[in-house]
Amino acid sequence: MTVLDRFLKGDRRSLAKVITHIENRRDLYREVLARLYTRTGKSYKIGFTGPPGGGKSSVVDLIADHFLKHDKKIGIIAVDPSSPFSGGALLGDRIRMAKLSNQENVFIRSMATRGSGGGLASASKDVCVVLDAFGFDLVLVETVGVGQVELDIMDAVDTVVVVLVPESGDTIQAMKAGLMEIADIFCLNKSDREGADRMAAELNMMLDVKRHGSDWEYPVIQTSALKGFGIDELQEQIHAHHKYLKDTSRFEKRRRRQVRVEVYQHLQDRLLEEVNTRLGGELTLDEIVDEIAAGESDPFTKATEIFDKYFR
Ligand SMILES: Nc1nc2c(ncn2[C@@H]2O[C@H](COP(=O)(O)OP(=O)(O)OP(=O)(O)O)[C@@H](O)[C@H]2O)c(=O)[nH]1
Ligand SMILES: [Mg+2]
């Protein structure tokens, strides 16, 4: 029996192996994904993003606990784009993993930056596909919302929860990072702290424009993962958002958009791979740069030449 056969029978060790295989882009990984893809579409995917240290992991834990009580099977992907710098966070995630991983119905996977930024986004999405195919009811994706990679990952989820904290500047940072646009639900965590009400009011005011003309209200939920309040309401709003998507045929639309992005992304990856292979083989970037530096050519002409030679 192959690893994939055991995977299809629900073996968790094979699940881990398949993920590693896909993550590292090993032989035939595209074929494996293609085979698994036919079994996907059943998991509901929820993304949690926001500034570093806002309590995303803590909130995800509590939400996971909540769904576990309702007999759901849960896959969690923790994307850590800044792994060289966040030893502390990783340690925290490990401790949590130890706690949650004991549960039969939970599977947690951490993913760190490797290669180019775009690579991490597509690898995370591929892992979503694997977890979906394995049969998890819910896939929770946590990622620090600081750049394009994280926003790209959120393309692959059905409901986006943006986790903020009641500190001045946090909303501004979130706006700059493009989080306001992608959020479906705002979770104002650490609401046990001073200034939470004021911040919630501020956030609600900012959302006026976004809410206008929309039949989704983009709720702001005050939570405290520390004290444990607001989590029920957050879970209810996630449920309400799911229902809203389903009732308004937006669910279909979102899923279609996900597929669209996925095709595009894989095509882009392949093209980039091809360019890099060429540049490492018969062409070298150094030679091209030499030529340009010597005043014999320019970047625009060179790029066009390469494109015309290999892709036309
Ligand atoms: N006061 C207070 N502290 C909290 C709350 N939630 C989390 N924390 C603390 O905030 C710190 C960061 O929590 P995490 O859950 O690791 O935050 P995170 O957003 O996952 O962090 P990164 O993944 O590193 O970006 C920890 O020390 C938590 O104990 C809360 O509701 N109130
Ligand atoms: Mg975290």
pLDDT at 283: 73
- Best residue among 48, 57, 93, 162 to mutate for probing ligand 1's pocket (most ligand atoms within 8 Å of CB) is 57
Q: What is the SS3 assignment for 110?
A: strand
In the predicted model, is pLDDT for residue 170 greater than 80? Answer: no
- The C-alpha atoms of residue 286 and residue 289 are separated, in whole angstroms, by 5
Spacing, Cα 93 to ligand 1 middle (Å):
11
Question: Which pTM does this prediction carry?
Answer: 0.89
CA-CA-CA-CA torsion sign (304, 310, 311, 312): positive
The answer to whether the CB of 53 is under 6 A from ligand 1 is yes
Does residue 91 carry a pLDDT above 60?
no
Tell me what pLDDT residue 120 has: 79
For residue 150, the ligand closest to its alpha carbon is 1
Say if residue 168's pLDDT is above 90: no
Q: Which tokens in the block code for residue 34?
A: 């293609």
Domain boundaries, the chain: 1-38, 39-248, 265-311
Predicted confidence (pLDDT) at residue 17 exceeds the cutoff of 60: yes
The pLDDT assigned to 114 comes to 53
Ligand 1: residue whose CA is nearest its atom 30: 190
- Would the CA dihedral through 168, 173, 176, 178 be positive or negative? negative
Query: In a mutational test of the pocket of ligand 1, which residue from 49, 56, 57, 58 has the highest number of ligand atoms less than 8 Å from its CB?
Result: 58
Tell me which ligand sits closest to the C-alpha of residue 58. 1
In ligand 1, which atom is closest to the CA atom of 89?
Answer: 24
CA angle at 137 for the pair 159 and 109, rounded to the nearest 5°: 80
Place 84 in a pLDDT band, splitting at 50, 70 and 90.
Answer: very low
Q: Is 226 in the pocket of ligand 1 (CB under 6 A)?
A: yes
Containing 162, the helix (H) or strand (E) segment is strand 159-164
89 CB within 6 A, ligand 1: yes
Please state the rounded mean pLDDT for residues 88-115. Answer: 68
Provide the pLDDT for residue 274: 85
Average pLDDT over residues 120-129: 88
Average pLDDT of the segment spanning 171-182: 81
- Which residue did the predictor score with more confidence, 297 or 174? 297
In this structure, are residues 138 and 71 in contact, taking their beta carbons and an 8 Å threshold? no
Beta carbon of 95 within 6 Å of any ligand 1 atom: no
Q: Whose CA is nearest to atom 10 of ligand 1?
A: 55
Question: How many whole angstroms separate alpha carbon 105 and alpha carbon 73?
Answer: 5
- Within a 10 A sphere around the Cβ of 139, how many other Cβ atoms? 26
Report yes or no: 136 and 24 within 8 Å, Cβ to Cβ.
no
Q: How many CB atoms lie within 10 A of CB 285?
A: 11
- CA max distance for the chain: 68
The yes-or-no verdict on residue 116 having pLDDT over 50 is no
- Note the CATH number of domain 39-248: 3.40.50.300
CA of 48 to the centre of ligand 2 (A): 10
Q: From the CA of 187, how far away is ligand 1's center (Å)?
A: 13
User: Which one, of 177, 203, 208, 209, lies nearest residue 189 by Cα?
Assistant: 203
Question: What rounded mean pLDDT belongs to the chain?
Answer: 87
The predicted model gives 37-47 an average pLDDT of: 96
User: Residue 93 CA to chain centroid, in angstroms?
Assistant: 16
Mean pLDDT of 132-157: 89
Percent of the chain beyond pLDDT 70? 91
